[in-house]
A and B are shown apart, each in its own frame.
Chain A
């Protein structure tokens, strides 16, 4: 190694340290910092809770929301000493949005960190890959957002806390036909497990009750939807069901407006984020979608969560954060009722009945799936209002 190389190496390391230092200084990016100050009280047993999700890469925004939601639930439990003599510790692992790396994250949490329960994965493919590992390690896992059909079947250690795609999409299709009186639908879906499941369910119900004139696909992180919208426009639908997440939905609405396509936009819980209005602006006004969570809900638990989220992370929570918060609270409730060992948590999770979550009353059925109420929300003057 020449002297010049040493110089550069030192410079780069220096830069990285600098980045580390500045990065930590920002409260929005270092939520873990908040919890550290308290420290585990003397003699308390430390129980580790794992979290798996994409913290970097194209899906980072979802994974980060989930981590934030879990963080709030765990901090609350520690502050209130919900479980006597126990301090919970969050161990978050990144997947880069790649399911094979999610499998590594599951293994690492189970074997190295010795967590007793895992909240994750976030994307369905992550949970698919991690599920067998959780079962092998006999550690329960609860996904706050993986909606793939039949995901939890045959795996007693795998649970989830999210709205079923089938239920959401078919209820919305029914509502759109019977209450709103639409007859001609177009579907624009994101080509991943979430979008495909929603599309299938919506298409089925909508075809029974009315007519589906166009079905078009797009990819995650796409930005330009003009060709699909132009194709849809020629078919003349009255409403477009967007089976996808908020960023894409906002851009679709925006681009539809730009090409004079005036239709009603319909969606599912993937719409639930303030980003929808930030990017969509005028264009998403009037959009109607199903959700499990509504931040305008007056109840104390919801307001407590929304305020804490704003305070800690300086932004509005999205549905990922809300479902993750509930998933974590369901885990904490299971610990309270049964105990903190992995097996006890699993039993507790399996017996969850009418848990009063911020995403509605939640029960877990014998297959590990969730039963929840579906709300229908509408964007009115830049905020979400509950219409059913």
Chain B
């Protein structure tokens, strides 16, 4: 049907959709800038791989194990978010991501710098499609519920949300927990596809890549993240033809895209003249209700 190469790209697109939509929950909808999403992915990837290799769990159980472990860490990293805002939070998540990577690089059980090989190839396109649809479906349910409205309220104005009786602490930690859960799921699929994992692929550049997918697609838009993930997975592959100039083009495309449509591919254009805002509200002010079709 498809050549193995296209199949592989499609699987990667699927995994990246899971990564981007789950990051979108944290950054796009709740307004908590995170540049450590790859850390959750690596936690899920390693935990799922080890569950398969050492505990002999079936594939599905391993995936769940990886996702749950990532969720635990998501809650843990969610706790500092109670105090940190904007770029301070971003840098804390970045630091967390680097710590996780370095720990994996030095642990014995993860194979350290040599990596972990011999993971069975259980991930198929069908698994990825099911996982991606499930992720989108659950995230959509969350966003359309009371929880989702609370998250968006936190993004729009935390103080106002709090005074309306929203427990911002609880909901922010929830967003991190859920986001990390799905990132862990994506990681588990990732490790069971490549049959090998190494910390080198979960560095800060990978987190940045996820963030680019969310922003390029359109912050706080489910479809935006899906399109962003597909575009940023496929574009570097198409650019392979230009060999040495690939990365150069990639950089230029990012700059160019932001010039032409700073609000992302899908995302409502905000009026160019806006009243001065307080510093915490500048993260992106897209009318989410219109976007997810409420």
Output the residue of A5, A19, A55, A128 with the most chain B CB within 10 A: A128
Contact B194 A56 (CB under 8 A): no
Given contacts A99-B200, A191-B113, whether A55 and B248 have CB atoms under 8 Å apart is no
Q: B83 on the interface (CB 8 Å rule)?
A: no
Given contacts A94-B240, A98-B200, A111-B3, whether A103 and B252 have CB atoms under 8 Å apart is no
Contact A20 B245 (CB under 8 A): yes
Contact A110 B4 (CB under 8 A): yes
* Chain B residues, Cβ within 8 Å of A100: 12, 190, 194, 201
* Chain B residues, Cβ within 8 Å of A97: 200
Output the residue of B112, B244, B245, B246 with the most chain A CB within 10 A: B244
> How many angstroms between the C-alpha atoms of A101 and B239 in the bound complex?
13
* Chain A residues, Cβ within 8 Å of B114: 124, 148-149, 193, 196-197
Q: What's the dominant secondary structure at chain B's contact region?
A: helix
A-B contact pairs, 18 of them (CB 8 A): A1-B260, A5-B259, A12-B256, A56-B246, A93-B243, A100-B12, A101-B236, A103-B8, A103-B194, A108-B240, A111-B3, A111-B4, A112-B3, A125-B196, A128-B198, A129-B198, A132-B121, A192-B113
* Chain A residues, Cβ within 8 Å of B260: 1, 5, 9
Question: Besides the contacts A128-B115, A132-B194, A191-B105, what 14 more A-B pairs have beta carbons closer than 8 Å?
Answer: A1-B260, A16-B248, A23-B245, A55-B243, A56-B244, A56-B247, A97-B200, A99-B194, A104-B9, A104-B12, A111-B3, A132-B196, A137-B4, A191-B113
* Chain A residues, Cβ within 8 Å of B9: 104
* Chain B residues, Cβ within 8 Å of A5: 259-260
> How many angstroms between the C-alpha atoms of A112 and B7 in the bound complex?
12
Q: A273 on the interface (CB 8 Å rule)?
A: no
Q: B169 on the interface (CB 8 Å rule)?
A: no
Contact A55 B194 (CB under 8 A): no
Contact B259 A191 (CB under 8 A): no
Contact B5 A125 (CB under 8 A): no
Q: Which residues of A contact B (CB under 8 A)?
A: 1, 5, 8-9, 12, 16, 19-20, 23, 29, 55-57, 92-94, 96-101, 103-105, 107-108, 110-112, 124-125, 128-129, 132-133, 136-137, 148-149, 191-193, 195-197
Q: Which residues of B contact A (CB under 8 A)?
A: 3-6, 8-9, 12, 105-106, 112-115, 117, 121, 190, 194-196, 198, 200-201, 236-237, 240, 243-249, 252, 255-256, 259-260
> How many angstroms between the C-alpha atoms of A133 and B8 in the bound complex?
10
CB < 8 Å neighbour of B252 from A1, A12, A149: A12
With CB as the reference atom, state the residue of chain B lying closest to A6: B260
Contact A132 B195 (CB under 8 A): yes
* Chain A residues, Cβ within 8 Å of B200: 97-99, 125
* Chain B residues, Cβ within 8 Å of A93: 240, 243
User: How near does chain B come to A96, taking the closest CB pair, in angstroms?
Assistant: 7
* Chain B residues, Cβ within 8 Å of A197: 114
> How many angstroms between the C-alpha atoms of A197 and B111 in the bound complex?
12
Given contacts A12-B252, A100-B190, whether A128 and B4 have CB atoms under 8 Å apart is no
* Chain B residues, Cβ within 8 Å of A129: 194-196, 198
User: How near does chain A come to B77, taking the closest CB pair, in angstroms?
Assistant: 23
CB < 8 Å neighbour of A136 from B4, B12, B105: B4
With CB as the reference atom, state the residue of chain A lying closest to B253: A12
Contact A104 B237 (CB under 8 A): yes
* Chain A residues, Cβ within 8 Å of B255: 12
